[in-house]
Structure 1
Amino acid sequence: MLYPAELRDLFNECKFKKICLNLKISIVFIYLKIMDTYVSILLWVIPGFMVMMTFEILYGHFTNKQTYTFMDTLSSLSSGITNILKDSLGLVVVILSYPYILDSIAFFDLESSILLYFVAFVCIDFASYWNHRLNHKVNIFWNRHIIHHSSEEFNLACALRQSISAWIGFGALFLIPAAFFGVPPEIIALLAPLHLFAQFWYHTQHIGKLGFLEYIIVTPSQHRVHHAINPIYIDKNLSAIFCIWDRVFGTFQEELDDEPPVYGVLKPVNTWNPLLINFQHAFNVIQDAYNTSSLKDKFRIWFMPTGWRPTDVIDKFPRNIIKDPHTRSKYGPNYSFFLKFVAVFHFVSINFLVYFFLSNFSIVEDDFKLLFGIIIFIAVFGFTSLLDLYKWAPYFEMIRSFMSILVLYYINDQYLLTNYNSEFTLMILYFILSIIISTIIIFYKNHVLIRFGNKIT
């Protein structure tokens, strides 16, 4: 086989517990060691992404075409952190596994060759299209995807806005063609991350149309259309790599010169907090299901087209929906210099925690990974809530920083203190400084916390 021996060994080592039901649906609990290779790849890929974003920021600065704003970028990068944690920890329950489908319907047995990899990649791209289309078209599945569209800017950082709310894995259903051709699961596992990473580059406004490539691959122009909320652009260009799927299945739309894309979602999220964004739509659907008096609507709301609401709750519980994209106001409270400094301080410190988490992922116990991951999740929630200027946020920051210190001291029989004394000291210092900063904000909030406004920082 052409896939790396390390990946093959991981699959051989990986233990699956499969429970077959009468409907032949299997529930697969994935052993976390399978993620070691993925985490190792991330340690190489993330710096590359950061370099590309830096070049885009510099290009925008020197050409006076800046597409980044300060807090929006921090929010995008913070969303990337939460997605990395979720994927690394394997927080997903697979209700339909690819190995099960492969065993059931494999018809061909392709020899290990370039052809096998090409077929596998095309099948992954086909599956991505239909999974993506489902996320856009069905109410409850939109919750899995809204985070990716939530930014009102469009730049490479937006590509990092990936979901943490996709806890139920059923994507193998769309990989039936791959199973039919007998593509081994090892090949799928190897190519799937590459397929995802290959979608990063076209999240930019600085590259125009690319001639004949517009008929072959997804380009920045096509993906700008996809992220736009202009009526003519909504739910268009759902392909990931090859744009043939949009052209064949009727979802292609060219970027029009007289219709510049306006980015975001029709119901603005109005928060920098990626954890809130990830579950905001689901919360709205739950509210509507509870408030409607129709038993039929309580059930069908989950599976209706995205944005559908029962008629008896629309007037009673109105929501702010953008009618004219060209006149909308972007979310962006005013911030003091002090609060911007606090944002950078938290973001850099949290990235230090993430780097420690990833670089030691393969050598620490699973319970340590989970507890340390929770610390980072809560840190992201706390500091982005502070950026949203919630009155309770500095109090939350004090509590979570104090609790983090306690957890770090006693986590895994003082593993950190024994083996990583310098790193442990820096972590404790971060949480102590966080408590001090939160105290300053609480006592001097009239000077450093500014009321919400529409002006972008």
Structure 2
Amino acid sequence: METYGKILLIAMPVFLALVLLEKWYGWYKGKDTVRQMDMISSLSSGITNVTKDVLGLSVVIISYEWLVNKIAVIHLTPVVWVYVAAFIALDFAGYWVHRIEHRFNIFWNLHIIHHSSEEFNLACALRQSIAEIVKVFTVFLIPAALLGVPAKVIAIVAPIQLFAQFWYHTQHINKMGWLEKVIVTPSHHRVHHAINKEYIDKNFSQIFIIWDKLFGTFQQELQGVPPVYGITRPARTWNPIKINFIHAWLLIKDAWHTKGWKDKFKIWLMPTGWRPADVAEKFPVYKIDNVYHFEKYAPESSNELVVWSWTQLTILLIATSYLFANIAAIGSPGFFVYGLFIFLSVYSFTELMDRKRFALLWEILKNILGVFIIYKTGGWFSNSPSVIQLNIPILSWLLLSTFITAWFVFIEFKPAKAPRFFITQND
């Protein structure tokens, strides 16, 4: 937990710098692929995901360490080739987990956030799940466990394998020659994120594209078929916490409303998107029919709202970094309270980005929690003199944040005219 937090203290500013660099490069080249509010939504999603991981908010049914202790035939010494083998084993497992997430209703909810952006850029790579409360896919590492690959090797290689998937989320790199035959490239992954009928549910590989070619799920990017990004049943919100559970909520409602008892259980393991016929007819859900003519989600956003959203995100990044740097000192249950503050922060300002009036309620709840933290701990999770000196600035910020959110809700969002919530795919 503490070690992963320290790794993220280095990784987060690097990822943010690369996201901003891509934004600048797109502007410079006249091909901007990054909408600001979409970027803020993606970055806030990344914050919720890393906070959840650092706090260990998930249950592992079978840990890899337990598995290797029980079934290892031999025990390998952690030398260089063992790390290479572990990397390949993780990539093989990642392919099948990824493919399962796309193919079954119950597991799609764990991955929908990653595909929810209607853009394709480095920022959308940071849209990662907080919905995976129970981890069930350790079984795909059975080959590594049989060979006795040490658990500490997997623990080192896993973050490397994950971070190595960041760079290819871009439209600014074209096909890469012979590398297209070996590794996952931006071209391959553009196909994976596309909702065109030619591309959907293809290219599940994470690092080595060979898995798709071996198991029949490979599709190259076609010259005359530009990828269109997103999900076929659009999320229509900037709130990443809502997006994480939007598919599960639909499944729960469908299971409740369907008259067929068989369908109440069947729906969970059916292919992604399947719905019982009776609820599909009675409770239709909007689905994109023509990928080249649909309206992207784009609530009206004044310059003031954009600046305020960036301000909230910046403050949140600072607060999150403080948590990761001091997680041992904050301790339990303090760091869970801190995590709640982060989640309320994200929920509040992304609801405001959606122009939702209840954003003010969430903002008030978040700021009450902030005041309570200072009251109970003497400072911001610490009673040291240096932290206590920050009490007045923090309390002032919480008060100011409440008033500014109220200004947006009661003044700017006044229904003087119908807000525009979408832009066409051709805009």
Say yes or no: TM over 0.5: yes
Q: 1:183 aligns with which of 149, 156, 180?
A: 149
Distance 1:326 1:442 in 2: 34
Alignment partner of 1:372 is 2:338: yes
Q: How big is the shift at 1:209? A: 0.6
Equivalence for 1:297: 263
Q: Supply the AA of the counterpart residue of 1:150.
A: S
The structure 1 residue matched to 2:398, chosen from 431, 445, 452, is 431
In structure 2, C-alpha distance between the alignment counterparts of 1:401 and 1:413, rounded to whole Å: 15
Distance of 2:321 and 2:380 partners within structure 1: 19
The letter for the 2-side match of 1:319 is: V
Shift in alpha-carbon separation, 1:56–1:314, aligned structure 2, 3 A: same
Answering whether residue 63 of structure 2 is matched by residue 80 of structure 1, we say no
User: Structure 1 stretch 325-334 or stretch 52-61: which is displaced more?
Assistant: 52-61
Q: Within 5 A, what are the aligned runs for 1:48-63?
A: 48-63=14-29
CA distance in 1, matches of 2:413, 2:41: 24
1:143-162 equivalence runs, <5 A: 143-162=109-128
* Aligned-partner residue type, residue 317 of structure 1: F
- Helix, strand or coil: the match of 1:363? helix
Residues 373 and 380 in structure 2, CA contact (< 8 A), matched pair in contact too? no
Unaligned runs of 5+ in 2: none
Q: Share of identical aligned residues, percent?
A: 45
Structure-1 residue corresponding to 2:58: 92
SS of residue in 2 equivalent to 1:271: coil
Distance 1:426 1:248 in 2: 58
1:125 aligns with 2:70: no
Between the aligned partners of 2:203 and 2:413, the Cα distance in structure 1 is 46
Q: Return the offset for 1:332.
A: 0.3
Q: Does 1:213 align with 2:213?
A: no
Matches within 5 A, 1:28-427: 35-411=1-377, 415-419=381-385, 420-427=387-394
TM (normalized to structure 2)? 0.95
Residues in 2 aligned to 1:243 and 1:113: alpha-carbon distance in whole angstroms: 26
How many correspondences in the alignment?
423
Determine the structure 2 residue equivalent to 1:453: 421
Say if 1:334 and 1:455, in contact at 8 Å, map to a contact too: no
Distance 1:347 1:455 in 2: 24
Q: Secondary structure at the match of 2:172?
A: coil
State the one-letter code of the partner of 2:161: H
Letter in 2 for 1:435: T
Alpha-carbon offset, residue 447 of structure 1: 5.5
1:327 is paired with a residue whose SS is coil
**1:446 offset after TM fit, Å?**
4.7
| Amino acid corresponding to residue 131 of structure 1 in structure 2 | V
Structure 2 partner of 1:5: none
User: Partners of 1:124 and 1:448 in 2: how far apart?
Assistant: 52
Letter in 2 for 1:83: N
Contact 1:92–1:169 (8 Å) recurs in 2: yes
Are residues 448 and 145 of structure 1, via their aligned partners in 2, closer, same or farther at CA, if it must alter by over 3 Å?
A: same
What is the letter of the counterpart of residue 383 of structure 1?
Answer: F
Relative to structure 1, the CA distance from residue 134 to residue 405 in structure 2 (aligned partners, 3 Å threshold; closer, same or farther) is same
Q: Are the equivalent residues in 2 in contact too, given 1:97–1:170 (CA < 8 A)?
A: no
1:354-380 Cα offsets, whole Å, 9 max, x none, are 121111123221211110110111010
Q: Which residue of 2 aligns with 1:27?
A: none
Q: 1:188 to 1:247 in 2, by over 3 A?
A: same
Structure 1 gap segments, 5+ residues each? 1-34
Question: Residues 446 and 167 (structure 1 numbering): CA distance in 2 closer, same or farther, change over 3 Å?
Answer: closer
* One-letter amino acid matched to 1:309: R
Q: CA contact under 8 A between 1:147 and 1:274: conserved in structure 2? A: yes
Taking the aligned partners of 1:412 and 1:377, their CA distance within structure 2 comes to 22
How far apart are 1:413 and its partner, in Å?
Answer: 8.5
SS of the residue corresponding to residue 330 of structure 1 reads strand
Query: What is the alpha-carbon distance in structure 2 between the residues aligned to residue 243 and residue 341 of structure 1?
Result: 40
Amino acid at match of 2:218: F
CA change 1:94–1:50 in 2 (3 A) is same
**Structure 2 Cα separation of the partners of residues 36 and 167 of structure 1:** 20
- Flag the 1:414–1:154 CA change in 2: closer, same or farther, 3 A: closer
